[in-house]
Structure 1
Amino acid sequence: MVKSLTQLKKLTISDCEKTEAIIMEEEGLGMETSEILAFPMLTDLHLERLKSLTCFSHGKCARESGSQDRVTSRATVLFNQEDSRYIQHLQTLDVSHCDGLLNMFTPTIAENLVALTKLRISNCRILTEVINDEKGGDDRVVAFNQLKYMELDGLIGLRSFSSGGYTLMFPLLEDIIVTRCPNMKFFSQGPMEASKLKRVQVSKEVWFWARNLNITIQNMFEEMVRTSYQIPCIWMVLTTK
């Protein structure tokens, strides 16, 4: 069926509790037949309330682990390296209430999100990082050249956007919302550039800012720990004097 969706631009999949992957391997054919044509024009992808979802393509996930068993083949990222053909035109990615996801991308996949302008991830309970670290890549640059809006909400397991030492670049990012991420201690372990970003929204009418995005997230975490979420408005006033 996936071969007939070559003109598909918007895809929403929701409320499928047993769905483990969006693309399943065709029995007896392998992935080679479908992966050539699947979603080449996709611009908007919304994945909502898919509690068992672990990866975009089941066949690739299983081959990486060497097993077809669901438990032993659990993917570490939503999109794998071979999925780049599905997301190269993606402009909006919205993932919510997907409790089987550990990470969203590898740095290699992130580099293929050349058209992404909006990223929203919310209420994925075990997500620990957005970009999963690839060892030995501290000298690489991962650029989200078109990203303007990012929202991270209700990610109780999130520790950082990325723990890798590579450089992250967000040249157009102006709006970022970080709410209900109590374990997020920093944004990125490596260098970062986001020249247009001047504040982080933490509730409907409250923003934080302290020199740059990484320091802002660190200070937010320290303040939440110290005050048990009681003085965000006071902290904002102090930083805007």
Structure 2
Amino acid sequence: MNSTPNMIKPLLYSWCFPNTTNLVQFPWSFSNLVEVDAQSDDKFLRSRISFTCNELLNLKNLEKLHMVGVNEMITLVEEVFEVVERKNADENLETQSVVVFEKLKNVILENLFNLSHIWKTNRWIVLSFPNLTTVSVTACPLLGHVFTCCMVGSLLQLQELHISDCEKMDVIVKQVEGSEARLAKVVFPCLKSITLHNLPNVKGFCLGKEDFLWPSLDTLEIKDCPKVTVFTCGQSTTPELKLINATFGLCHATEDPNSFIRTKQEEFYISLYNEMSYENFDVSV
């Protein structure tokens, strides 16, 4: 494996995996790991789980995760950060563990054809990302959601969120079944840009009852997401959002995103219905 020391932070390393041996064989390196850049037919992408539950605590220095697959037959990653369920004997325990990724700033995932979970969360284990600033997920057709409600409270530094070409995804933030960690209001203080492109089954950003506050959001793009009928089921407050770039055009955000989406979707489909009716009328005549 080829490793190069990080000159700013001695003893910390950035790792690239051009056709190299799977990182899982080198657990001693995790505590020094700063950057993972796995691309093409890299053997790192041939493991079903990228980082097992036992390895998560050693990723304290990880700052960037970049994984790009190229071939469905050899890109086998199903889960990036593994969180396991407790055994039946432990189900009555009420203690909850929080695994904090203090330094992780960037997560970029592309063409991971078998990916079903990025970071699975349950009622006993929650992953926290207090310094995560950028998340980009593209062409992960089996991925059902990006975040869970249990973890969004830690995303205080998130600035950019880009999700595109994920066929199975039905929501961006998912409720965790059986979780009692419900927030009355979710705040994304630094999130400035949300881009949702070509998500044919997405119904909304979050379908829970929480209210959302987006004090910095000034860019919202929702294109080719035909099943979106609401942004959030709870109230969304976006004081800085002036324009919304949607499939039906660039529009002024004169209302909250929920009202805007409902109104514009209705207008768009009424217009489409009228056009189709007019064309059918012309043909029959």
2:119 pairs with 1:79: yes
Larger Rg: 2
Q: Higher relative contact order by CA 8 Å / sep ≥ 6: 1 or 2?
A: 1
CA–CA separation in structure 2 for the residues paired with 1:209 and 1:219: 11
Structure 1 spans left out of the alignment, 5+ residues: 26-30, 67-73, 232-241
Contact 1:48 1:95 in 2 (8 A): no
Poorly superposed stretches of 4+, deviation over 6 Å: 135-138
Measured on the aligned residues, the alpha-carbon RMSD in Å equals 3.3
SS in 1 for 2:186: strand
SS in 1 for 2:263: helix
Judging by fraction of residues, say which structure has more strand. Answer: 2
CA–CA separation in structure 1 for the residues paired with 2:157 and 2:28: 23
Map 1:1-241 → 2, pairs under 5 A:
1=26, 4-6=29-31, 11-14=36-39, 20-23=48-51, 25=52, 31-32=53-54, 34-38=55-59, 40-42=61-63, 44-48=64-68, 53-58=77-82, 60=83, 63-64=84-85, 77-81=117-121, 82=125, 84-85=127-128, 87-134=129-176, 140-202=184-246, 206-228=250-272
CA–CA separation in structure 1 for the residues paired with 2:274 and 2:65: 36
Alpha-carbon displacement from aligned partner over 1:19-60 (angstroms, at most 9, x marks no partner): 64432x3xxxxx33x211215442x545555866543224x2
Contact 1:199 1:208 in 2 (8 A): yes
**Matched letter for residue 258 of structure 2:** N
TM-score where L is the length of structure 1: 0.73
Contact 2:235 2:258 in 1 (8 A): no
CA–CA separation in structure 2 for the residues paired with 1:18 and 1:170: 38
Query: 1:64 and 1:131, CA in 2 relative to 1: closer, same or farther beyond 3 A?
Result: same
Instruction: Tell me the CA shift for residue 175 of structure 1.
Output: 0.9
More divergent stretch after superposition (8-17 vs 169-178)? 8-17
TM-score where L is the length of structure 2: 0.63
